[in-house]
């Protein structure tokens, strides 16, 4: 259906997003990137995003799950949620800023000033709009479930009409987007290199532990392959 299809990149835009005043950082511009595949990979590896908006003249930032379908992000919540209500109440929608961040390492320098972290982040600016089309809503909710555990939406009961009525979904198109990345070791001053302080990187790694079955689970139900594959 036409409403479901996200905007598709064409021509040179297919390789990346066009920088804007809001997506070009004021510091460390060399760390900014606009490559489409890179942005998608950072988003896809994240479980939680932070959704920022203005409520009653004050900034609000909410952590929440999300899902991606092509160049479109989906966020869901209760129909009573303030940002989800406002996205459908205002025209053309709710101005938002959505971010995700991965911390890949702790960077310890010889001087306190040059301590840092290695990270990958994405910032998305845009207008969030309420999803009303029933098929798009189901597609969005499946995408959110599969974003956390790929394949899970097909192996669980879909939302019934009552649950769908209590759930609101908003979409945010990936158009004004940037990634920012730091890698490597500390950037110590030459005068500090002889100081007797350890310097380097403490890498951080994400991992999965052994799945713990629900206490009321039928013992004959095995852990699905898509979970063990994690």
At 88, is the pLDDT very low, low, confident or very high (cuts 50, 70, 90)?
Answer: low
SS3 of residue 85 by DSSP: helix
pLDDT of residue 3: 39
Compute φ and ψ for 175, nearest 5 degrees. -125, -50
pLDDT of residue 210: 94
Cα–Cα nearest to 127, from 97, 99, 100: 97
CA 117 to mean position of chain CA atoms: 19
**Which has more confidence, 92 or 212?**
212
The mean pLDDT value for 204-218 works out to 93
Contact 50, 37 (CB under 8 A): no
CA distances from 142 to 21, 56, 111, 169 (A): 34, 32, 48, 12
pLDDT of residue 1: 32
Q: What is d(CA 52, CA 22) in angstroms, rounded to the nearest whole number?
A: 14
Question: pLDDT by residue (tens digit) across 31-70?
Answer: 899 999 999 999 999 999 999 999 888 999 999 999 999 9
The mean pLDDT value for 175-183 works out to 96
pTM of the model: 0.87
Provide the β-strand partners of residue 61. 52
Contact 132, 84 (CB under 8 A): no
For the chain, first and last CA: distance in Å? 33
Contact 73, 66 (CB under 8 A): yes
Compute φ and ψ for 213, nearest 5 degrees. -70, 150
At 113, is the pLDDT very low, low, confident or very high (cuts 50, 70, 90)?
Answer: very high
Indicate the CATH number for domain 16-185+223-228. 2.30.110.10
Quote the percentage of the chain above a pLDDT of 70.
92
Lowest-confidence pick of 118-127, 157-166, 191-200: 157-166
């Amino acid at each position: 259906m036409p409403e479901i299809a996200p905007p598709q990149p064409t021509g040179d835009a297919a390789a990346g997003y066009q920088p804007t005043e809001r997506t070009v950082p004021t510091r460390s511009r060399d760390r900014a990137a606009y490559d489409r595949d890179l942005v998608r990979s950072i988003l896809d590896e994240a479980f939680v995003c932070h959704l920022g908006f203005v409520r009653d003249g004050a900034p609000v930032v909410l952590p929440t799950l999300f899902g991606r379908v092509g160049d479109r992000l989906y966020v869901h919540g209760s129909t009573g949620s303030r940002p989800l209500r406002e996205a459908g109440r205002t025209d053309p929608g709710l101005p938002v800023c959505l971010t995700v961040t991965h911390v890949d390492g702790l960077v310890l320098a010889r001087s306190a000033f040059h301590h840092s972290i290695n990270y990958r982040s994405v910032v998305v600016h845009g207008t969030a709009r309420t999803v009303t089309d029933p098929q798009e809503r189901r597609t969005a909710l499946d995408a959110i479930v599969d974003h956390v555990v790929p394949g899970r939406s097909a192996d669980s009961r879909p939302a019934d009409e009552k649950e769908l009525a209590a759930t609101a979904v908003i979409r945010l198109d990936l158009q004004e987007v940037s990634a920012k990345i730091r890698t490597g070791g500390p950037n110590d001053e030459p005068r500090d290199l002889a100081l007797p302080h350890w310097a380097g990187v403490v890498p951080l790694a994400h991992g999965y532990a052994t799945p713990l079955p629900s206490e009321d689970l039928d013992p004959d139900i095995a852990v699905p392959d898509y979970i063990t594959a994690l």
